[in-house]
Amino acid sequence: MIFDIIRKKFVVLTPEEWVRQHVLQFLISEKNYPISHINVEKQLQLHKTIKRYDIVVYNSNGSIKIIVECKAPKIKINQQTFDQIARYNFVLDAEYLMVSNGLEHYFCLMDFKNEKYIFLKDIPSYQL
């Protein structure tokens, strides 16, 4: 797909990768985020372990706007999924979280003051 260009390599189209490609399409085509603001599947260090996030969308100032966790369509999204993305956000400090298995999509706004996330109907579109 076109997003292989972003990563400068070819990837195997696993069920999770299929979801990731469609989320990228949504972020770029529907929400108007520039490709240059999107980073895909990079490492982060969480405590003493190395993890990989699926998608991160940056603000123009370099701060992180959105973290996306993608699961294969057969994977049920549950509390474990939200715990995983919340742990990643301890390191990344994103404003918004998105979780998708291609069939179900959840969007959250972080409330850092009260240490919780607030569920939303959608995430905001790109704003200059």
- The arrangement of strands across the sheet holding 116-120 comes to 38-40, 55-58, 64-70, 96-100, 105-111, 116-120
Instruction: List the domain boundaries for the chain.
Output: 4-120
- Would the pTM count as exceeding 0.85? yes
Runs of H (alpha helix) within 1-128: 4-7, 15-25, 79-92
- Torsions phi, psi of 75, nearest 5? -85, 125
- 4-120 under CATH 3.90.1570.30, yes or no: yes
pLDDT tens per residue across span 62-117: 999 999 999 999 999 999 999 999 989 988 999 999 999 999 999 999 998 998 88
Q: pLDDT > 90: what percent of the chain?
A: 70
Which of 116, 115, 117, 119 has its CA nearest to residue 107?
A: 119
